[in-house]
Amino acid sequence: MENLKFWDAMRTPPVSALKPILAGRLKGKTDINPEWRYEAMTREFGPCGIGWKYELVRSWNEPTIDGQVFAFAEIKLYVCVEGQWSEPIPGLGGSMLVTSEREGLHASDEGYKMAITDSLSVAMKQLGVAADIYAGLWDGRKYRDKHEGET
């Protein structure tokens, strides 16, 4: 098996899966649609649970001194190649469970779900999923021009 086979196949997301981040500390970066990540994994390995799967190792929260609360999740991602399951690929991600806003504290009922999604993206990076974005090849229009005809 060629070492970069999966990396090369999943490195470049279509323009339709990308969204510029317009505000906050990540302004200027690019958000990648999680559904595209799952589609890329399914295309390369097969359906979730058959060709790739993950195990939730643990989830927890960490309060801050100002009342905000972080949600964290740790997962192990596995892929099946030629009938053999990989060793676990670790992923650790997080999101906000309680956020401080202008009107006060706001709780999210999706904090853990978003932490798991983040964990999956961290693990999938190690297989090359959306590697072009993380390698800094996105610089606005240049990337869109290069990949405009893709979907």
Strand partners, 81: 84
Please report, for residues 38, 46, 79, 135, the alpha-carbon distance to residue 51 in angstroms, rounded to integers and kept in the order given. 12, 4, 6, 26
**Residue 125 CA from chain centroid, whole number:** 7
Element (H, E) at 97: strand 89-101
Model confidence, pTM: 0.85
Which pLDDT score is estimated for 138? 59
Give the integer Cα–Cα distance in Å for 83 and 94: 32
Question: For every one of its 151 residues, what pLDDT tens digit does the chain have, with 9 covering 90 and above?
Answer: 589 999 999 998 888 888 877 777 777 777 788 899 999 999 999 999 999 999 999 999 999 989 999 999 999 999 999 999 999 999 999 999 998 888 999 999 999 999 999 999 999 999 999 998 888 775 444 554 555 555 4
Position 139 scores a pLDDT of 46
